[in-house]
Every structure is written in structure tokens, then in C-alpha cells.
Structure 1
Amino acid sequence: MVREHDYYRDFKKLEQLMGDNKKVAVFGNSSNQNDFTAIFDNFFLLQCNAETLKKRLNTRTNNEFGKEKM
């Protein structure tokens, strides 16, 4: 079941993009990211602790993303 906030990358398009180019940088995450990590030579996960995330969401005034209670 796909929830309204799930985001899935198109594996075939990503694989084609990587095959057509020598260097590719892909940013962001998706619900199916574990399905294609093997096709990358390297990947980096940027994260912050819960306190920092809460502060950023609570003080941000230009974007409502992440502010709706679930």
C-alpha cells in the first residue's frame, strides 16, 4: 500500500542515467532507496538529531512541510 507521502524513484530511469554518464550525483531519499544502493560506488547519509530537527521545523516560517501532526 502506498501512503500519500511515499516517494519512489524509478529504478530503470536511474539505472539509465547512471549508464549514460560517468559521474552522477543523486540527492534526496525515497521509500525504495534500499532497492538501488548497490548500483552506486558511494553514498552519503546526512542526518541530524531529533532536537535539531524539531528546532528547524518549529522555527521555519516559509514552508509547512513536516509540520502536520500524524
Structure 2
Amino acid sequence: MEKLEVKNYIDQYSRTTTKISTLLEMAKFDFDMLQSSYQIELGEITRWWKELGLIESLEFGRDRPEEFFL
């Protein structure tokens, strides 16, 4: 969850007058790469969850893989 808070720091840093543009660009790039990685991983988890088929066989199961991912 700490990595998700980085977006706030990037926005704050971009508004400062003493910013280093290369550092800001690298931080944005790192954040975008991390988000892309999370999206791919969540897609794989969702696919696995659907293929597992437990929702159909268990009455008490919850169909919320996104919540479990976090």
C-alpha cells in the first residue's frame, strides 16, 4: 500500500520550485511500471479464480478476488 501513496508524493514534488526534473520523470516511470505490473498480476489472479470454479460449488464463497489481492 505504500507504493500507492507514492502518487501523492509525486504530485506534491512536481509543484515544488526546487524539483529535479529527471528525478520526477524517473519516479513517474517507476510508478507507471509498478501499476502495469499490478494490473497484469490482478488479471492472472482473476483468470485463475474463474478457472478454479469454487464459486459454483461453494455456497458461502465470495467472488471478490480483487479484494483478496489487496
TM-score where L is the length of structure 2: 0.25
More helix per residue: 2
Larger radius of gyration: 2
TM-score where L is the length of structure 1: 0.25
